[in-house]
Structures are given as structure tokens and as C-alpha cells.
Amino acid sequence: MAPSREAPLMASLLNNIEQDQVTASAARSLPPPQPAAKTVEALPAARDSSAMDVLVKQINDGEAVASAEVVATRTETVQVAMRRCPRANTRAGLRCREKVCSRFRGLDRACPD
């Protein structure tokens, strides 16, 4: 860098450092944050374990349904992609199936590990 270009850069860097120091000192002079009005322990539902058990059961049941839908969708996707491939007894067909299974290996019966 030429000396004439270093001076403005140095001045800009020093100005940034000074601004950071002013901001940091102003932050130290602020009062500490006030605690929240109610904590999680103070809420009645958090103390009621039966309500929590019901909530966990609902979440698990929903995840099981969603998981079954994902598997069905994934299987359909793999089957459609495999049908688009050339015949399996050709090199192009084998390459195509390998490409499809690279995304779904071990996740679908058509693409075992």
C-alpha cells in the first residue's frame, strides 16, 4: 500500500476503536436487567406432571403419523425415479438406479445399505 492510502485507513480504524470503547463504557453504566415477572417454575402447568405427560403423548403420536407420511412419500419418490430409469440390465439403467439410491440409501427398501 502506498503511504498516502494508509493514513485515511489508519484514521478510520482508530475512530472505530474509539467508538467501540465509548459504547462499552456506556453499556457498563446501565443498570442490570430486571428478572421476569413469572418463571417457568411459577406456572401451574409446569408443576402438573400429568399435563406434561399428556402433552408428550400428543407430540409423540403426532410424530408417529408424520413419520409414516414421510416414509410413504419417500417410497413414492424412489419408485417414480426408478421407473424413469432405463432398463436395469443396461449400464445406463444401473447408473441411474445408483444415482437415485445415493439420496435414499438405507432409507428405502429399494435402496438397501
Q: How far apart are alpha carbons 112 and 77 in whole angstroms?
A: 16
Q: What is the pLDDT of residue 1?
A: 47
Residue 39's alpha-carbon distances to 35, 43, 49, 74, 95, in angstroms, are 9, 7, 17, 43, 58
| pLDDT single digits (tens) 57-96 | 777 776 666 666 666 678 888 888 889 999 989 999 999 9
Domain that holds residue 96: 45-113
| pLDDT single digits (tens) 4-59 | 667 777 777 777 777 777 676 666 666 666 665 555 555 555 555 677 777 777 77
In a domain, 34, yes or no: no
Residue 1: partners with Cβ closer than 8 Å, 6 or more residues away: 9
Residue 104: partners with Cβ closer than 8 Å, 6 or more residues away: 74, 77, 78, 110, 111
Q: For the chain, what is the total number of helices (H) and then of strands (E)? A: 4, 0
In a domain, 4, yes or no: no
In a domain, 20, yes or no: no
